[in-house]
Amino acid sequence: MSAHTTMIKLLRELERDGFTATRTSGGHLRLSHPAISGCVFGPSTPSDHRAVKNLLAMLKRKLRAANDQ
């Protein structure tokens, strides 16, 4: 499965979990959620499989920080 296909599936799951995804003028994704402060930016069409893993790691860190407060 390509990284792009994985990203599409991930976005569907994130939107079900309450995230809002919008595209920036540069083609990246801006992900926001009511529980976290600020936004998380990620690639919309990742060039390798690590981009998806890095985006997930950033989201987990933001959610963990929001739960600690």
Task: Round to whole Å and give the CA distance between 57 and 49.
Answer: 13
Task: Round to whole Å and give the CA distance between 4 and 36.
Answer: 25
Q: What is the pTM of this model?
A: 0.84
Cβ–Cβ under 8 Å, residues 14 and 8: no
Question: Could you report the per-residue pLDDT of 4-58, keeping only the tens digit for each?
Answer: 788 889 999 999 999 999 999 998 999 999 989 889 999 888 888 788 899 999 9
Query: What pLDDT is recorded for position 56?
Result: 92
Query: What pLDDT is recorded for position 21?
Result: 94
Q: Which residues contact 42 (CB under 8 A, 6 or more apart)?
A: 28, 29, 31, 51, 54, 55, 58
Task: Round to whole Å and give the CA distance between 37 and 47.
Answer: 28
Query: What pLDDT is recorded for position 45?
Result: 83
